[in-house]
Structure 1
Amino acid sequence: MMSRVAHGIASSKRLRLLMHGLSAKSGHNNRFFVKFWARSSSSPPTLAKANPARNVFEVEHFPLVSIANEKVLNYEVGSAERKSLEDELLNVLNNVERVPILIDGEVYSGGREANQVIPFNWKQPIARYEQAHRVLIEMAAEKTARAQETWDKTKLCKRMGIWNRAADLIAGKYRFKIIAATMIGQGKTVRQAELDVADLVDFMRINPIFLRDLANYEPLNDQPEVCRNQMRLRGLTGFVAAISPFNYTSLAANLAFTPALMGNTVLWKPSDSSILSNWFVYQAMQEAGLPSGVVNFVPAAATDFATVITQHSKLAGINFTGTASVLKVLWQQVAQNINVFHNYPRLVGDCGGKNFHFVHASADPAAVVACTIRGAFEYAGQKCTSCSMLYVPESLWKTQIKESLLKITKTLFVSDATFCDCFYSAVIDKNAFKRIQMYLKYINDNPTCEVLIGGTCCKKQGYYVDPTIVQITDLNDRICKDELLAPILCVHVYPDAEVMQTMEKVARVNHGLIGSIFANDTEFIKEASDTFKLNVGNLNINDKCTGCTVGKQPLGGGHITGTNDKIGSPHTLAELDTQSAIK
């Protein structure tokens, strides 16, 4: 919702306009048009000496609207939503969808064919697609850049209307289709996929509300009878490249379509491992009325795509979520070609980092265990916010946490994602499996590591990794610093008397999107909040480090975990546009 300050500025400005006789009339879709005249003079103007030449600008203002998150469905036995989802699961399983390269409304052939397979049954494909070659990516970038000027002229209210229709379509007609593709194609349980699509609906509904706030902002106008100051939003000149991850259908769509909401045109490279769900979202946007060419759907090899876009003179920005190593490569490529670009490209990037739970002696052990198991093992630890490190005081570890943590972890059911009692399923693909297998071997060979449970994996049918808990003594070890994206939880037990030294060490070695503090000691919570102020972008108190909700907990980390533009807030939208100041 609009802040009180922004609301006050916008409201008082409209009141002054009416008082001074400027024209204000209500328009369609509950917006207001304000027409004003920009006056030019070499000296402070007066009404009598006002320049008769008048430039009329049309500016959209919007009333306040409330924000509400999408309702999450429970899929009870016998419910209508459960039956609808079962039907869509069968459709996805029994068909191999042909997913095109779509540029400016036309289908193109990339020449290199690939399949998206089921993570928990890698022999079965669910989608067949082609990867664009470099010449085709170059052509797509050029077409995307050319479309920007026309799309940027589209009124904000019309763009908002498209996004609101898309939200309704995704919440209704497309909901179970997208959830089924997310469950089967990305290995998410029904609960995780439902939460993902609810977030997607929230992005589509709430980002236009954030845009209203930005549009309603006006600079100070303390002499409206002689001077008008105005800010006008516009898209970035050129094209924005969106590079999306496999683990969230909602984040993938947000990366591609939020820049378009702000007046940009987008070249979208979806992840090879989430092609199907991303394509269904794209179809929903098409049905909602998004014009052809505003967002172009271009599956491609990561290196080909990155090479072409970072050498293209009309690159206006990159919107990215993935690993820190890839973000660094993109940043380096942009820097190397800085003299090529017509703009300074905007780089917006979020990575996972090393998220952690830090436990104080005053914490509730039961809450620590429950939150840590969910934070570490839901979606096989593949969330960008998954808990990878647990810091526990000696006074709680052996007596109140260790036994419960291991006992519950042992009961977790790892299987086919479509089974209702499945806690998590296979990891996303063979590359992820090989990387995790390498880490498990490293852990098993490491004298500073003790495997308490798990430590095994199997790819006979699916890419399965057992839930693994490792106790580690050396905080300088790479396993305490690397982003694992795996169902591996590392535990470090510290002496109670060294809590402050341990926190300071964590602040130096763990850079994550989110850190969580578990304590009932108010003074400690204050101290820990100050200590972890810089190494994480989000800090949770007595809650797991996963589960951010759009509009409630804006997400983004600093340091090597990203540019901290806070997805799910107006700040991200402001990064994806540019402004004109008019006097």
Structure 2
Amino acid sequence: MSAAQYPEPANADGLSYEPGSDERKFLKAALAEMESVVAQVPSADQPLEPTWPPPAEYHEVDSETVKTKAIPGALEAREQWARMSFKDRASIYRRAAKMMESPKYRWKLMAATMIGQGKICGQAEGDRITEVIDTLNFHVCFCAQLYAQQPPKQFDASSSELDYRPLEGFVLAISPFNFTVLGAHIEFTPALLGNVILWKPSPMALLSNYLLYEIMEEAGLPKGVIQFLPIADPTTVVKPALSSSHFAALHNTGSSSVLRSLSTQIGTNTTIYKSFPRIVGESGGKNFHLIHNSCEDDSDWIASAAVRSAYEFQGQKCSALSRLYVPKSMWEQGDLKRALMREAAAPSARPADGHVLLYGGQTTGSKGFFVQPAIFEVDETKLETGSDLMTKELFGPLVAVQTYDDISPTGFHDVCKLIDETSEYALAGSILRDSVGMFCINDKSTGAVIGAHPFGGARPSGTNDKANSVNVLLRFSSIRCVKDSYVTGSMTLGGCHVPDRTLRTALATGILNPSTPTRLKIRHLIATVGTTASKTRVEKALSPHTTSHMTLTVLTHEENVHAINQSDVVILATKPFKRGSIFSAPGFKEAIPGKLILSIMAGITTSELARLTFGNEDGAEQPFQAVRAMPNMAARIREAVTLYTASDGTSREGLEIAEWVFSQVGQVHRIAEGSFDICAVLVGCAGSLLLVAVDGLLDAAVVEGVRRQDVQNLVVNSAIGMMKLVPAGEHPAVLREKIASPGGCSIRALLELEKLGVRSAFTSVIMAAAEKSKSMSASR
């Protein structure tokens, strides 16, 4: 079966929600339904079946439940989940992505995101629909790419591969409120690799997150893989999780202070963990736009990009703009300041913290926690004191404008240095410059697209593992390198006497000079023969086929035991009635156990080989590797058909060796031992019978005065051509009828054959030969 392919998916398309559109109608209905009823969100210790629609009440988990139920439950689920094939895990994720697009869940998830997290429909559509679906689909693609990363260097004697295993233990996943997609990414991305998850969602995103959890389980995610643990106080989950020896990794998005605190706790507990835990985190940012003075005629575009980046979703995006660096010449000109005012649409201004509040900044206590978008102009004299506006992540609709000297030759270099040193963060930034009529460096700092913009920051902004890429998957995988050493010993081809010199020579030639490549590298071939004269003949025939990688030794039968002791594979090519004397030779039975036996002794079953090997009637019940095979005479021109069957104890590698050895002289087919005798006779004897038929046909030519050598090739090639019509799908009887036209020569010849009973004679002789084959193992 070919491996499943996971091509890069297209990004999911969002809807516009224009007035009068169907999507707007469906969304408004879902919002009304969700606002009318309180949903029930259970915790790990209260697996109730909720009767809802939302918004929701949730049942908080407690520390004892985390310790005694959630962690053991996750570890129990790990056994099944880690063993599940990537193909099956990927199917669950892709099915879940399709479910999220369906009417059953699309509008419900949209409504939960809008009500629970305070988003307008455009922001919820991008967060909930397109990004969540992309997260599931793209990470399947990324995971397939990761698994495909294998060692480029291989050797003749061995191969190696990387086994991407899940981490040993569980992953603690802590997701934030601001993006539903982060609920999907932080939990489901590590799980895709076979990990199990303790998920502590934000209480301000519980409903949308719980819907994701339900969708994944409905798509086929086994129970217990994700332990959904709602709680307002994170220490309820964090403390027992970080105190468990099975803690394997942290996946967190939140503030820098929280990530530092968690890292410190993990470091303190390092001695109790089974493995060194992985820490993958995205935290704070103090993101900037740097404007180059070449953009002086594009104030409207700059203002639009700044306002969208700073104020979309109330400035609560981790990549939101909070610092705007503007050339002093552009600011003093006034166009950019007026454009910002127009975009922000905020009327009031007052000083704040020594800076100038240009626009907005009003709050109201009438309803909710509204903060009006604000624009500050930074007082440059306050910079040395470390103004919060320029240094701290405020996570709200606030942006600070600072001018820089663009007249000075070093002005642009100086402001770049200032940006780097002003804040400790290193998450997102954008440089806007105009060159030959187009903006050629960056866009606004928000709006990373899954599959195109792997996201993550350094310094206190996170561990920079680049979410939405192959890189982050690597952090949740424990890689094992598996080295597979091939058969590098010797192969013995021998026996005291050989039933057919040509067959054995052809087989030996094929092994020394293979027609097909193999990873099973045989280093040495030892052939044992009956006499000194045979030794000389075989050496002369086979020596030209040896190489520096494959050596040859030819011995006489007195050294059978020595040859077997030096080998991993033993090919027995002797007359069946001689087997007793061969196996009874001193030391033979002691040398043969543990070797892979390839027998081409006609009629000798694998059970008989076991009896011969172990010396008693119970030998067949003991573990050993034996392959019974029968090639035909066409091996001399590598056109043989070889049948083989194997003992129950033969390994996969043993079967692979057998197939490779006999494939050097033609086709190879495995059949059941119960059918072996009749099939082997058909393969081995049928050729002889056809030769008798050809010989009779040629006799007729001689009787009619034509020399045998003049028509032999005509008859043989005609027969070969006719025989090739049978594998093409034509039944022999149908072909016979097609040839035998009424009143013709062929039908007259066939009539004479029927009178003589030739067809039944063929049947009788094959059945007699099969009975003879069956009796050979019984005759000792």
- Structure 1 stretches of 4+ with a deviation exceeding 6 A read none
Partner of 1:397: 331
Judge which range, 81-90 or 194-203, deviates more: 81-90
Instruction: Return the letter of the residue paired with 2:353.
Output: N
- Label 1:87 to 1:142 Cα distance change in 2 as closer, same or farther (>3 A): same
Instruction: Return the letter of the residue paired with 1:194.
Output: E
C-alpha distance in 2 between matches for 1:67 and 1:286: 23
Note if 1:488 corresponds to 2:398: yes
Partner of 2:432: 518
Note if 1:151 corresponds to 2:81: yes
C-alpha distance in 2 between matches for 1:265 and 1:236: 9
1:220 touches 1:229 (CA, 8 Å); kept in 2?
A: no
- Label 1:331 to 1:402 Cα distance change in 2 as closer, same or farther (>3 A): same
Deviations 1:66-124, CA, capped at 9 Å, x for gaps: 32100011112232222211111111111111001136xx6179xxxxxxxxxxxxxxx
2:427 touches 2:461 (CA, 8 Å); kept in 1?
A: yes
Instruction: Return the letter of the residue paired with 1:128.
Output: E
Partner of 2:57: 128
Offset of residue 521 of structure 1: 5.0
2:229 touches 2:237 (CA, 8 Å); kept in 1?
A: no
Deviations 1:160-208, CA, capped at 9 Å, x for gaps: 0000000000122311111111011100010000000210000011100
1:465 is matched with which residue: 371, 382, 395? 371
Matches within 5 A, 1:430-441: none
Larger proportion of strand: 1
Partner of 1:241: 172
Partner of 2:420: 507
Judge which range, 547-556 or 302-311, deviates more: 302-311
Structure 1 counterpart SS, 2:159: coil
Deviations 1:267-314, CA, capped at 9 Å, x for gaps: 100100000111111111111111100001001221222222221111
Partner of 1:456: 362
Deviations 1:478-511, CA, capped at 9 Å, x for gaps: 3211011000011111221222212101112232
Structure 1 counterpart SS, 2:480: strand
Instruction: Return the letter of the residue paired with 2:149.
Output: Y
Offset of residue 450 of structure 1: 0.8
- Label 1:512 to 1:179 Cα distance change in 2 as closer, same or farther (>3 A): farther
Note if 1:169 corresponds to 2:99: yes
- Label 1:444 to 1:341 Cα distance change in 2 as closer, same or farther (>3 A): farther
Partner of 1:207: 139
Instruction: Return the letter of the residue paired with 1:408.
Output: E
Q: Structure 2: 5+ residue runs without aligned partners? A: 484-780
C-alpha distance in 2 between matches for 1:311 and 1:222: 43
Partner of 2:470: 570
Partner of 1:217: 149
2:66 touches 2:237 (CA, 8 Å); kept in 1?
A: yes
1:221 touches 1:227 (CA, 8 Å); kept in 2?
A: no
1:239 touches 1:317 (CA, 8 Å); kept in 2?
A: yes
Deviations 1:227-279, CA, capped at 9 Å, x for gaps: 11111111001110110000000011110111110110001001000001111
Deviations 1:106-145, CA, capped at 9 Å, x for gaps: 6179xxxxxxxxxxxxxxx821012211111212123212
Judge which range, 144-153 or 155-164, deviates more: 144-153
Instruction: Return the letter of the residue paired with 2:23.
Output: E
C-alpha distance in 2 between matches for 1:462 and 1:518: 36
Structure 2 counterpart SS, 1:85: helix
C-alpha distance in 2 between matches for 1:142 and 1:481: 43
C-alpha distance in 1 between matches for 2:477 and 2:215: 24
Instruction: Return the letter of the residue paired with 2:319.
Output: T
Q: Name the larger-Rg structure.
A: 2
What is the aligned length?
461
Offset of residue 226 of structure 1: 2.2
Q: CA RMSD in A?
A: 2.0
Partner of 1:410: 345
C-alpha distance in 2 between matches for 1:232 and 1:542: 38
Partner of 1:18: none
C-alpha distance in 1 between matches for 2:40 and 2:432: 48
Partner of 2:207: 276
C-alpha distance in 1 between matches for 2:22 and 2:399: 38
C-alpha distance in 2 between matches for 1:333 and 1:130: 27
C-alpha distance in 2 between matches for 1:573 and 1:259: 7
Partner of 1:384: 318
- Label 1:263 to 1:513 Cα distance change in 2 as closer, same or farther (>3 A): same
Instruction: Return the letter of the residue paired with 2:92.
Output: I
Partner of 1:262: 193
1:102 touches 1:296 (CA, 8 Å); kept in 2?
A: yes
C-alpha distance in 1 between matches for 2:167 and 2:48: 26
Instruction: Return the letter of the residue paired with 1:458.
Output: T
C-alpha distance in 2 between matches for 1:411 and 1:277: 32
Partner of 2:41: 99
Partner of 2:67: 138
C-alpha distance in 2 between matches for 1:292 and 1:354: 40
2:200 touches 2:229 (CA, 8 Å); kept in 1?
A: yes
Offset of residue 411 of structure 1: 6.1
Instruction: Return the letter of the residue paired with 1:453.
Output: Y
TM-score normalised by the chain length of structure 1: 0.76
Deviations 1:412-444, CA, capped at 9 Å, x for gaps: 9xxxxxxxxxxxxxxxxxxxxxxxxxxx9xx95
Partner of 2:768: none
- Label 1:310 to 1:407 Cα distance change in 2 as closer, same or farther (>3 A): same
Structure 1 counterpart SS, 2:59: strand
C-alpha distance in 2 between matches for 1:411 and 1:88: 33
1:367 touches 1:542 (CA, 8 Å); kept in 2?
A: no
Note if 1:195 corresponds to 2:126: yes
Structure 1 counterpart SS, 2:251: strand
Q: Structure 1: 5+ residue runs without aligned partners? A: 1-25, 32-61, 110-124, 413-439, 526-539
C-alpha distance in 2 between matches for 1:232 and 1:445: 58
Partner of 2:733: none
Identity, in percent, stands at 36
TM-score normalised by the chain length of structure 2: 0.57
Deviations 1:504-540, CA, capped at 9 Å, x for gaps: 0111223232100011259xx9xxxxxxxxxxxxxx9
1:148 touches 1:237 (CA, 8 Å); kept in 2?
A: no
Offset of residue 352 of structure 1: 3.0
Structure 2 counterpart SS, 1:146: helix
Deviations 1:145-165, CA, capped at 9 Å, x for gaps: 232232100100000000000
1:145 touches 1:238 (CA, 8 Å); kept in 2?
A: yes
Deviations 1:330-377, CA, capped at 9 Å, x for gaps: 001101111111111111000131011011111232221010000000
Partner of 1:232: 163
Matches within 5 A, 1:7-22: none
Partner of 1:420: none
Matches within 5 A, 1:283-294: 283-294=214-225
C-alpha distance in 2 between matches for 1:228 and 1:81: 55
Partner of 2:448: 548
Matches within 5 A, 1:8-47: 26-27=1-2, 31=3
C-alpha distance in 1 between matches for 2:25 and 2:59: 33
